[in-house]
């Protein structure tokens, strides 16, 4: 049984090798765009769909007149639609420097299968039409897409700094599909002045080359130091570029956030003003608390007087004291007392009823029982005051 399985495996390997040996590679050459502007990125790709998982493409250097050429790495990927098939490809990022129509002659490309003979491929030249840029576009202007970011970093996460303290100004410049030689020197916009010292920068550069295009990321870290109190004199960062998608001039702009610097003496002055303002606020709070406490005390005493009143005259005097304790005035009429009470509470209906009862009873010959009922009614209406 084992012998038969071994023979079957050998036959499968032999058949597979025969299929790979008789495979005829069909190169597919594509341009990302057939018509571009001068200095606009175009990607040239040569790909082969193969059943050989380990097949390779070997290619010589591409040398084209009037072009800036950046070679892309060899790449292999599985075909999701077809089982046991793979795409092997090579490519180049091209930047045409001169307008015109070009037939791009590719260098010698060799398809090398796994364990088989290498095959030299004959590839027809693709045609590319390059349009001239508008006359107002200078030769040094970037063609593509540009973004700028900037931040200030320091060990303290504040926007107020000391003068003579060194900060790091972090500037990030990201370009997509832009010819590297045309990336503008953004640091020309950053200069020392009477209010600012600018020190030599450090640069972290990252280049990403893929079959989707070229991206450059430049991260500058610039030490700076404020020399005067006030707003940090940091200029807005501006780069002008030509967007080939819209065929328009655009600006990448990044304005630094507002940060401030103060000297040592001014810091102490600001600190002293803040302390005085805090003490003043605390004093006002204490005064308000005392007034509120004493007012509450007066209200409680007035309610106690209502409860202890022996006749209508004492009850009316207690109501006047209540009005005075609430700040509504002294010796006011019952109608004015009711009006003030209704402004400060939702219990105005109950209090109105109590005052009406009081007004009815104060000139009648009431008994002590009716007085007690009236006092109880008034006190109940004053609950929650």
Task: Choose from 16-20, 213-217, 306-310 the range with maximum mean pLDDT.
Answer: 213-217
What is the distance, to the nearest Å, from the Cα of residue 333 to the centroid of all Cα atoms in its chain? 63
Is residue 88 within 8 A of residue 79, CB to CB? The reply is no
Residue 31's pLDDT band (cuts 50, 70, 90): very high
Assess whether pLDDT exceeds 80 at residue 134. Answer: yes
Write down the pLDDT at residue 48: 92
The first and second tokens of residue 246, run together, are 């819209």
Write down the pLDDT at residue 214: 95
Write down the pLDDT at residue 71: 94
Distances in Å between the Cα of 222 and the Cα atoms of 152, 167, 201 are 10, 8, 4
Domain coordinates in residue numbering, the chain? 25-125, 145-262, 286-381
CA distance 355 to 364: 15
% the chain with pLDDT above 70: 76
Among 65-79, 84-98, 362-376, name the one with the lowest average pLDDT. 362-376
Is residue 187 within 8 A of residue 201, CB to CB? The reply is yes
Residue 383's pLDDT band (cuts 50, 70, 90): low
Is residue 59 within 8 A of residue 48, CB to CB? The reply is no
Write down the pLDDT at residue 255: 86
Is residue 132 within 8 A of residue 71, CB to CB? The reply is no
Other Cβ atoms within 10 Å of 107 Cβ, number: 13
**Total-model pTM:** 0.63
Assess whether pLDDT exceeds 70 at residue 365. Answer: no
Is residue 325 within 8 A of residue 302, CB to CB? The reply is yes
Task: Please report, in angstroms and rounded to a whole number, the separation of the first and last CA atoms in the chain.
Answer: 102
| Helix 368-381 and helix 264-308, axial crossing angle in degrees, nearest 10 | 160
Task: Choose from 301-315, 322-336, 343-357 the range with maximum mean pLDDT.
Answer: 301-315
CA distance 93 to 31: 10
Write down the pLDDT at residue 294: 76
Assess whether pLDDT exceeds 90 at residue 360. Answer: no
Q: Does domain 25-125 have CATH number 1.10.3470?
A: no
Q: Does domain 145-262 have CATH number 3.40.50?
A: no
The first and second tokens of residue 59, run together, are 């290619």
Residue 6's pLDDT band (cuts 50, 70, 90): very low
pLDDT tens by residue, 265-301? 666 677 788 888 999 999 888 888 887 787 777 777 7
CA distance 317 to 180: 93
Other Cβ atoms within 10 Å of 249 Cβ, number: 13
- Domains 25-125 and 145-262 alike in fold: yes
The strand pair at 160-162 and 260-262 is best described as parallel
What is the distance, to the nearest Å, from the Cα of residue 172 to the centroid of all Cα atoms in its chain? 15
pLDDT tens by residue, 152-201? 876 555 566 777 788 889 999 999 999 999 998 888 888 888 888 899 99
Q: Reduce the secondary structure of the chain to three states and give it as a string.
A: CHHHHHHHHHHHHHHHHHHHHCCCCCCEEEECCCEEECCCCEEEEEEEEECCCCCEEEECCCCCCCEEEEEEEEEEEECCCCCCCEEEEEEEEEEECCCEEEECCCCCEEEECCCCCCEEECCCCCEEEEECCCCCCCCCCCECEEEEEEEEECCCCCCEEECCCEEEEEEEEEEECCCHHHCCCHHHHCCCECCEEECCCEEEEEEEEECCEEEEEEEEEEEEEECCCEECCCCCEEEEEEECCCCEEEEEEECCCCCEEECHHHHHHHHHHHHHHHHHHHHHHHHHHHHHHHHHHHHHHHHHHHHHCCCHHHHHHHHHHHHHHCCCCCCCCHHHHHHHHHHHCCCHHHHHHHHHHHHHHCCCCCCHHHHHHHHHHHHHHCCCC
Assess whether pLDDT exceeds 60 at residue 36. Answer: yes
| Nearest by Cα to 252 from 168, 169, 142 | 142
Q: Which residue has the higher pLDDT, 214 or 192?
A: 214
Assess whether pLDDT exceeds 80 at residue 237. Answer: yes
């Amino acid at each position: 049984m084992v012998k038969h399985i071994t023979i079957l495996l050998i036959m499968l390997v032999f058949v597979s090798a025969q299929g790979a040996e008789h495979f005829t590679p069909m190169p597919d050459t594509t341009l990302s765009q057939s018509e571009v502007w001068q200095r606009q990125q175009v990607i040239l790709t040569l790909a082969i769909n193969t059943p050989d998982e380990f097949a390779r493409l070997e290619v010589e250097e591409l040398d084209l007149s009037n072009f800036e050429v950046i070679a892309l790495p060899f790449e292999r990927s599985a075909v999701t639609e077809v089982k046991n098939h793979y795409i092997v490809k090579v490519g180049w990022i091209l930047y045409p420097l001169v307008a015109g129509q070009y037939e791009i002659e590719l260098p010698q490309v060799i398809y090398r299968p796994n364990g088989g003979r290498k095959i030299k491929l004959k590839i027809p030249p693709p045609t590319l039409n390059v349009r001239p840029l508008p006359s107002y576009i200078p030769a040094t202007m970037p063609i593509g897409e540009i973004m700028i970011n900037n931040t200030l970093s320091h060990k303290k996460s504040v926007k107020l700094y000391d003068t003579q303290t060194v900060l790091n100004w972090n500037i990030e410049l990201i370009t997509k599909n832009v010819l590297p030689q045309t990336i503008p020197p953004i640091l020309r916009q950053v200069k020392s002045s009477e209010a600012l010292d600018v020190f030599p920068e450090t640069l972290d550069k990252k280049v990403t080359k893929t079959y989707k295009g070229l991206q450059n990321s430049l991260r500058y870290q610039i030490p700076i130091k404020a020399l005067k109190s006030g707003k940090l004199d940091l200029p807005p960062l501006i780069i002008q570029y030509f967007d080939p998608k819209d065929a328009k001039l655009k600006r990448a702009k990044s304005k630094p956030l507002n940060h401030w610097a103060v000297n040592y003496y001014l810091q102490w002055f600001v600190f002293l003003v803040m302390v005085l303002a805090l003490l003043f606020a605390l004093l006002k709070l204490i005064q308000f608390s005392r007034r509120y406490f004493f007012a509450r005390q007066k209200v409680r005493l007035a309610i106690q007087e209502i409860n202890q009143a022996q006749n209508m005259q004492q009850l009316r005097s207690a109501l006047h004291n209540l009005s005075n304790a609430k700040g509504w005035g002294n010796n006011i009429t019952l109608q004015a007392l009711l009006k003030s009470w209704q402004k400060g509470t939702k219990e105005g209906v109950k209090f109105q009823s109590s005052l009406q009862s009081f007004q009815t009873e104060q000139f009648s010959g009431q008994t002590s029982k009716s007085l007690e009922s009236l006092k109880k009614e008034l006190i109940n209406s004053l609950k929650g005051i």
